[in-house]
Copies of this chain bind each other. A is one copy, B any other.
């Protein structure tokens, strides 16, 4: 097992950074890991559970001598963190990030990178609804995609090295253009998250359906929305504010389509509904065949047996 970077600095010690630490250890890399977080409590926990060899109070200290610096903070503060660490980066260092938006991050971070430092943006498509240093685990990235999104002119050797690093953490790796990344993620992640947040908010707001009933009878459908809508508020606020154009475009398409289906319900057009639902079911099969989810019953939750994926 090679060790692509001798010293890694994790800036921000939440779900992604702590999972990276666990995955680095699991891979058997001899990497020295430093880290920092804004909250003293998070730093204390990170030191206590050992996700960093050394925890520092400031990003400037944490990045000193680091070969790879991972910006694992909300997208909205990437620029400020980059400005803080810029003067302290060693020549030849690689800076990457794990933000869910790429164009805004590249615009915010790039101006602060000194000559001789390589900025290679990335985005691991993995997560849970949990956050904080306790929430990480080594297998988070296994068989998931990490997208490397290099701006024009990025050193190809450094793209290859970062890709190799992510593969050793368990991920599949692809490259993508920043604009295209932000559109694809608006479809597959950002719009769905806003929709889930909205539906959960509506449910809670209905006075005729008490909180306890919504919670109690959440088994079908709504339960999955609440999981998505439990994701980190700061992270998601920043995602929507920084991927505004693509998210609003997709949401516009969504409401247009929703109105068409609402109209079909109102006028009783069962054929339209049936055809629509048959088509979306086929997309699901594609995802299972692509290995991005399980066909196990009850959505693959623990405690239910495997069954054949035969739906006749």
Inter-chain contacts of A226 with B (CB < 8 A)? 280, 283-284, 287, 293
Q: Is A57 an interface residue (CB 8 A)?
A: no
Inter-chain contacts of A145 with B (CB < 8 A)? 216-217, 219
User: Smallest distance from the beta carbon of A46 to chain B beta carbons, Å?
Assistant: 11
Distance, CA A251 to CA B310, complexed state (A): 32
Q: Is A47 an interface residue (CB 8 A)?
A: no
Distance, CA A194 to CA B258, complexed state (A): 8
CB–CB B283/A220 < 8 A: no
User: Smallest distance from the beta carbon of A311 to chain B beta carbons, Å?
Assistant: 5
Interface 0/1 of A96-118, CB less than 8 Å to B: 00001000000000000000000
A270: contacting residue among B131, B237, B270, CB under 8 A:
B237
Which stretch of A77-85, A150-158, A161-169, A260-268 is in the interface?
A260-268
Q: Is A30 an interface residue (CB 8 A)?
A: no
State the majority secondary structure of interface residues on A.
Answer: helix
User: Smallest distance from the beta carbon of A131 to chain B beta carbons, Å?
Assistant: 5
Please provide the chain A residues from 109 to 140 with a CB less than 8 Å away from any CB of chain B in the complex: 125-135, 137, 139-140
Inter-chain contacts of A283 with B (CB < 8 A)? 200, 203-204, 211, 214-215, 226, 229-230
Inter-chain contacts of A189 with B (CB < 8 A)? 220-222
CB–CB B296/A211 < 8 A: no
Inter-chain contacts of A133 with B (CB < 8 A)? 312
Distance, CA A73 to CA B269, complexed state (A): 20
Which stretch of A3-11, A60-68, A87-95, A239-247 is in the interface?
A239-247
A248: contacting residue among B188, B262, B287, B312, CB under 8 A:
B262
CB–CB A188/B222 < 8 A: yes
CB–CB A222/B192 < 8 A: yes
Q: Is A205 an interface residue (CB 8 A)?
A: yes
Inter-chain contacts of A184 with B (CB < 8 A)? 209, 213-214, 217
Distance, CA A61 to CA B248, complexed state (A): 56
A204: contacting residue among B193, B277, B280, B298, CB under 8 A:
B280
Q: Is A50 an interface residue (CB 8 A)?
A: no
CB–CB A287/B223 < 8 A: yes
CB–CB B218/A298 < 8 A: no
Distance, CA A218 to CA B144, complexed state (A): 9
Distance, CA A138 to CA B308, complexed state (A): 15
Q: Is A273 an interface residue (CB 8 A)?
A: yes
CB–CB B297/A250 < 8 A: no
CB–CB A266/B248 < 8 A: yes
Distance, CA A285 to CA B214, complexed state (A): 13
User: Smallest distance from the beta carbon of A138 to chain B beta carbons, Å?
Assistant: 9
Identify the closest chain B residue to A131 (Cβ): B311
Distance, CA A131 to CA B295, complexed state (A): 12
CB–CB A185/B254 < 8 A: no
